[in-house]
């Protein structure tokens, strides 16, 4: 069974192409995290929010990443973080063309 981690938080920017420029190096390091499968980056310049949906091999690796990421975000001054870990229902997700392993 695989798991998703949903994370969002308030952020004043950057967004769009500037966000891509600012976080490309960070994105590359996420690929090296234990149990990491993929991430969908989310952003809303209108509501000043950002975050992502991550997939991990186990609940433990998702929770380990969340702990590390929460500390990293706090270092950037982000403290009001919404985060949840969910198990993926693979059979239903396959029917709806979800990006699962």
- pLDDT digit string, tens, across residues 66-80: 999 999 999 988 989
Look up the pTM and report it. Answer: 0.90
Give the bridge partners for 50, in sequence order: 9, 43
Q: Is the dihedral of CA 23, 25, 30, 33 positive or negative?
A: negative
Structure tokens at 58: 């186990």
- The correct CATH number of 3-95 out of 3.30.70.100, 3.40.50.150, 2.40.128.20, 1.10.3720.10 is 3.30.70.100
The whole-chain average pLDDT of the chain stands at 94
Confidence (pLDDT) at 100 = 73
Distance CA 59, CA 70 (A): 16
* Domain ranges across the chain: 3-95
Confidence (pLDDT) at 1 = 85
CB neighbour list of residue 90: distance below 8 Å, 6 or more residues apart: 1, 2, 100
């Amino acid at each position: 069974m695989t798991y998703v981690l949903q994370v969002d938080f308030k952020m004043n920017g950057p967004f769009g192409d500037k966000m891509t420029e600012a976080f490309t190096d960070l994105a590359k390091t996420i690929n090296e995290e234990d149990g990491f499968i993929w991430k969908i980056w989310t952003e809303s310049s209108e509501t000043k929010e950002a975050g992502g949906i991550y997939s991990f091999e186990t609940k433990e690796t998702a929770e380990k990443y969340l702990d590390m990421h929460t500390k990293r975000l706090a270092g950037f001054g982000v403290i009001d973080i919404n985060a949840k870990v969910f198990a993926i229902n693979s059979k239903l997700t396959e029917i709806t063309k979800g990006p699962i392993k």
